[in-house]
Amino acid sequence: MTASEFTAFYPQFAGFTPAVVLSEYVRQANARFSAFTAEDAEEARRLYTAHKLTLYARVALPEGGTPSLAQIAAAGQTQQKITSKKVGEVAVTYSSGTSSSSASASSDLADLTETDFGLQLLSLIRLYSRSVYVP
């Protein structure tokens, strides 16, 4: 898959900046999903790339202007899900992200639930069984 083939399928990513990020995620996607059929591998590569670009866009710094130190610091932090909250005496609990018992393959897939593209990819991966390793 090339970057132009990807943007032809997902035109909302056409003109994605920086272009090197798009190229890198396409390269990473092309190195994955070899255990899938050719048709499913192509779909998985598109979904993987769209998922990663969506995650990147969430934390990317805004274009133009000089970013503040707070913006730079915030861009590198992952968003944590709130698992519980309390109004009186204000208490908030965040999810830890991954469990300590997760293997490297499952921790690599941990962020797939963060985007619709990732959820679609996760369902495709599950079709091929739980033993499929996606590095």
Task: Please say whether the beta carbons of 49 and 25 come within 8 A.
Answer: yes
**In this structure, is residue 55 part of a structural domain?**
yes
pLDDT at 71 over 60: no
pTM: 0.68
**In this structure, is residue 101 part of a structural domain?**
yes
Q: Which residues pair with 94 in a beta bridge?
A: 82
Give the count of alpha carbons within 13 A of 46, CB side only: 17
**In this structure, is residue 90 part of a structural domain?**
yes
Task: Please say whether the beta carbons of 29 and 1 come within 8 A.
Answer: yes
pLDDT at 90 over 60: yes
Domains of the chain: total: 1
**In this structure, is residue 8 part of a structural domain?**
yes
**In this structure, is residue 133 part of a structural domain?**
no
**In this structure, is residue 132 part of a structural domain?**
no
> What are 46's two structure tokens?
């598109």
**CA 54/CA 88 separation, integer angstroms:** 35
Q: Domain of 82?
A: 3-127
Give the model confidence (pLDDT) of 12-47 as tens digits: 999 888 889 999 999 999 998 888 889 999 999 999
Who wins on pLDDT, 106 or 123? Answer: 123
The counts of H helices and E strands in the chain are: 6, 2
